[in-house]
Structures are given as structure tokens and as C-alpha cells.
Copies of this chain bind each other. A is one copy, B any other.
Amino acid sequence: MRRIALALLTAAFASSLCAQQSTSLTGSWLINLDYHGGPIYWQLNLTDTAGHLTGMLDTDTVDGAISGSHIKFIAKDPKSGYEDVDAVLKDGVISGTLIWLQEGESADKAAPHSFTATRQPEPRTGPPQRLEFTPTHYYNQFSAAIAPVAHIWPGDTIHTTTVDAGGSDEHGVARARGGNPETGPFYIETAMPGDTLVVHIRRLKLNRDTAISDDGLDTRVLGRELAIRMKDTGNGITWNLDRQHMIATTTKPGDHLKQFSVPLHPMLGCVAVAPGPGPAIPTGDSGDFGGNMDFNEVVEGNTVYLPISVPGALLFFGDAHAEMGDGELNGNALETSMDVELSVEIIHGHSPMNPRIESPTEIMAMGLAGSLDDAIKTATDNMARWLADSYKLSPSEIAQVLGTSAEYRISEVADRNAGIVLKLRKDRLATLQPEPAPSPAKQ
């Protein structure tokens, strides 16, 4: 914990332990602290030795006691900080207040914050489960404050549907507000901040015969001349989806596109974890947490790696596209609803700084930023870290591999963040002998 403070509190411990409170506190708990209106999550590992409490609160050493249902302990940072916890146990949940002294605060000014702690679940036994989930609500923001629609475990599979970016379902019925309404969020047990969520895209199946798009070009690709040329475009276009032959044709083709068709490659525009305990992020946006990445290789058979910021990760997805050229130039791809099947894994104790994608033949590091010129820096840093962490390459070796083997693709230009993906072919990396674990490619 980042505190450089000093604190202190004496506490009078009562002596009686209620009969019905016979269950020991020993075990792993998850604290949810209400810090000025927003959550902070800490892990609490307690050892309850006949009412004497020891253990760790995040990285601080616990010392305290239980008195009846009354719990009292102090957690000290070896250097300087303190938490002073005063709580009760009821119905298996610890709730109470916590004084947290931070830099520059003196104990007399510190105010208590309320918190709850719930016991971490015991590891599930038995084979992975398959969840059939029918959404009833959709969310237009990625947020840790949204209650999960289901709890699943690493290894489990989710089978569900997504509505299109405008909120319409497979029957063309408006089910949600436009702007990439999301299915989820799903809570993945054991996922903690600092872990990696691994999302295997098992199946993306079109479930209707039309997609919505338009005929504009995003301002990011418009210089002066092209802006003027395109000045009267931006009108809605409907595409017919031939699900048998997996091709799309436009319903307003104009004279020259009468024979034009495009092969369909269903993809998910959005895959996300909750972006952190802070303010929500609109589902049109993207970031380290994933989100509206709009990358046309987030397809069946590929895997997405995202850094987890809150307990349970909170997986959201939506904004499926029947097909999309690089960059989502029209602002809308071929927007449609979708039948989706995903499975999840967790890599504990390690997470990428930014989203990564893996196909059977390539590893791909994404950079998302306010300009292409910044996105390429993030994508390159993301891949350099990957090569350093998983393949143990030195800076010189990283440069030699990237200089000879990098492939850069522009994933998105139509959102607030532009996206660039740095790809490396796995056959180029075959001789590099990645470290066995924790390798994102090995989950």
C-alpha cells in the first residue's frame, strides 16, 4: 500500500466469543473499502488463533483480536503506514470502519472509512462449466460499479448473444440505447487486480440477415481535398448478409457496386474488463482495459489478453461486426447482432500494460492512443515488454527482432483512440524459447 504516514490507535478488546460465531476467521478475504465514494480493493489474509488475529492486509502486517463478533486490528507497513480496523462479523461478512493514514496526514485528522470484507470462495472442483446466458439488460459504460450478471470460474464457457452497436437484437428490436451496448459483465472467480484475463473466442455466429453501416469516412483519414470530395456522404447504408455463402452486398450499391460483395468475417468490436474502480468509461471508448478496440482480428479462434483492475475482472463484450476493413473507416462497420461463445482463463500475478491478441500464427500487441503517432509508441512498447517478459530478450535483441520482423497494422481510426497493432509471426519466434510461465501464450 502506498502510505508514508504514521498512525496509531489503541483498542479495547472484549472477551466473550458468541457461541454461534464458532467459525474461525482464518482464510482469505476481499476488502471493499468505500474511499470517498469509490471502492478500493485489498486482499486480507487472516490467521485466527483462538481469537488472536495475525496475517496480511495487502502488504501490511496484521495484529489484532476478535471479541465476540467484534473485530479489531492494526495493519502496519514495515516502514511507515498504518490501517486501524474496527469491524463486526455478521452473516459471514465483516463490515466496519478503517482508518487509513496517508502521507501528510496526522492521526488526529484521519477520518474512518466504511468497508466490507467477504470471504474468497473455495476453489471449485469438477470440470469447467458452460453458461447459457440470455441478456435482459445491456450497459453503455464499462464500470466496476455494475453488478455482475453471473459468476463463472476460469475454464468456463459463456454462450450468449450481443445486440448491435445501435442496440437492436437479432429480430431488429431495439433492446438498448445506442453506442455499443454490452452484454455482461461476468465476474470471474479468483481474478484479482494485477492478473490477466484470457478470453478465447470460441465462436462468433451471425444471427440475422442485415447489418447497418454508412458511407462516410472518418475525419482522421480526411485531408482537405478528400474532406471536400466526401462532403455529401455519411448516409446510412444497409448490407444484406448472406449467411450461407458468408458474403455481404450493399442494398444501395450505386452504378459501380452492383456486383460488389465482401466476404464476411464476424468479429467483436468490444471486449473489455472493468477499467478500474474509478469513474465509468463510455462503451464507445477504449483503453488499457480493452473496450471498443474495433480490431478485425478479434475473431473466432483468436485470444484476447487484458489486464485486470478489479476483483472478478468483470468481462463485457458487444459491438459485433459482420465484417470490417482496417480502421473502421465508415465509423460504423457492418454492425449486427451476434451469437457468441467465449471461454476464459486467468493468468495470476502478471498482466500486460495494454491489450494483446493471439492467433494461431501470430502474436499481436495493440497500442491505443489519441493519435496514430502515439499509438505506434504504445504498440511497440507493448510488444517490447512482451518480448522482454516472455522471451527474456535484451534491448538489443528486441530491436533486432522488431527491425526484421515487425508488421504494423492500423486497427482503428474512427474512435477517440486510434489503434495500431504490432504483429509478429510465431514462426519467426519459434527459436526464441519463451519462458515457460507466466507466458500469455501458454494459458
Contact = CB atoms under 8 A, between A and B. Distances in A.
Given A221-B380, A228-B231, A278-B140, A329 B283 contact: no
A378 B223 contact: yes
Interface stretch (A22-30, A50-58, A426-434): A426-434
Given A373-B220, A377-B223, A384-B226, A173 B402 contact: no
Interface residues of A, number: 120
Nearest to A105: B174
A396 to B, nearest CB: 4
Interface string A122-146: 0000000000000001111101000
Interface string A416-443: 1110100000001001110000000000
Contacts of A416: 370
A228 B227 contact: yes
Tallying the copies of this chain within the complex gives: 4
A141 B409 contact: no
B109 A399 contact: no
Interface string A319-333: 000011111111001
A78 interface: no
Interface in A283-338: 283, 323-330, 333-334
Interface stretch (A342-350, A355-363, A387-395): A387-395
A404 B223 contact: no
A328 to B, nearest CB: 7
A262 B222 contact: no
Given A233-B395, A373-B373, A102 B174 contact: yes
Interface string A141-159: 1010000000000000000
A329 B403 contact: yes
Contact of A328 (B167, B327, B403, B407): B403
A171 B108 CA distance: 12
B37 A137 contact: yes
Contact of A232 (B104, B395, B410): B395
A183 interface: no
A224 to B, nearest CB: 4
B36 A175 contact: yes
Interface string A72-115: 00000000000000000000000000000010110001110000
Across chains A and B, which 4 residue pairs bring their CB atoms closest together, nearest first?
Answer: A370-B370, A259-B431, A330-B403, A371-B371
Interface of A: 35-38, 102, 104-105, 109-111, 137-141, 143, 167-168, 171-177, 179, 181, 213-217, 219-233, 235, 237, 248, 250, 252-262, 278-283, 323-330, 333-334, 369-374, 376-378, 380-381, 384, 388, 391-410, 413, 416-418, 420, 428, 431-433
5 contacts: A36-B138, A221-B376, A260-B431, A261-B431, A372-B376
